[in-house]
Structure 1
Amino acid sequence: MVSKKIIIISVFFILLFSCKKETKPKNIEDDSSIRQQLYRLENVGWKSKIHSEAIEGINFSATEVPVQYYLLKDQGNQDLFLIDSLYQENKTERIVEFVFTQEEEEDLLKEKFTSLSYEDGVKYLSFSIDKDFYVVTSKNDTIPCSGVNYERNFKIAPFQKIMLFFSGIDPEEEIQLIYNDKLFRKGTIKFQFKDTYTEILL
């Protein structure tokens, strides 16, 4: 009787471990595939090349940043299936990092650059500048900016940075960013994003 129980228990454990062995490689393979796609984002950053235009002492720089980069920064890398799922839901979003720099490293929100008070310059970057940007896709669709996040540096860094958000763009589409500069009155500036993402240091 005892030997029968031992045999039954042994068979049960063999079946249990064999089932685990069958499912484990599949999960590892899926996780590895996602991890491989996100490896560069997590370790060195993965952005498009910086596109810059210098006009009358002011440098305007635009860099496209993939959605996955911010998902990893926000969610961490503990659940890569969640990161991939969130990316699939948001893959038609585009994020562009836009930086204004004065060649002598002066604060560009001074009245002599904007013709506005410092406070009004901050308000413009925070609430109104989104209307000055739009994207044209390779299919000639015009996409307005859907939002801006102004990263205030409180006069510590010699630049002003905003994050631009655009929605409803096929991830395979090439884009051109158009900026109608009303803050510094430098006219219309175009930034063509033709190249694929390139590793750069953050």
Structure 2
Amino acid sequence: TGEVAIAGHDIARLPPDRVVRFGLGRKFQTASVFETLTVAECLRVARTHADPPSLTSRSATLALPPAAMSVVERSGLSERLDEEARNLSHGLKQALELAMVLSLEPDVLLLDEPTAGLTRAERQGFAEILTALARRDRLCILLVEHDLDFVREISSRIIVLHQGRLALDGSVDEVVNSDLVREIYTGQHVPHAEERA
């Protein structure tokens, strides 16, 4: 029917700010940060829903929820708070956008290809951050990702969509080691057990 719901509310036609109020945060493949603002300013903008800016004073402290602060510290952004976002590497821009999304304090985090363009070390760091968010902060994370090694490392459940349809839904081992997934990723037919006999 085309309905998309969170917490029992149809969100398909709602503007982004209303969707955020239902506890949904999303990060797209390409980082979207405020290039001419500093890292700290980007994070302050992301927090305006909870900490409206004052016209008369400016706080010297950066008040972030624990999940966002964890990303800032683990990624190394904490040493670059006064640097303009445009000067950050691709990986740090990705970390900054993740911290900005987490500043909204979502219950569900949607990620689209979070490892696209990252180095191996950056992918490993991102995996550690996401795993900690899921375990420590009990955050529900849904991601669209084609890097099976990354998916295997951080996931507890995998759903495979192929040509717009649900192809497989199961544990990491069931899905990653399935003949169907090998066929989808290689494009070559993998003989099933009964065909090999």
Q: TM-score range by the shorter chain?
A: under 0.3
Larger relative contact order, structure 1 or 2 (CA cutoff 8 Å, min sep 6): 1
Question: TM-score when scaled to structure 2?
Answer: 0.23
Q: More strand per residue: 1 or 2?
A: 1
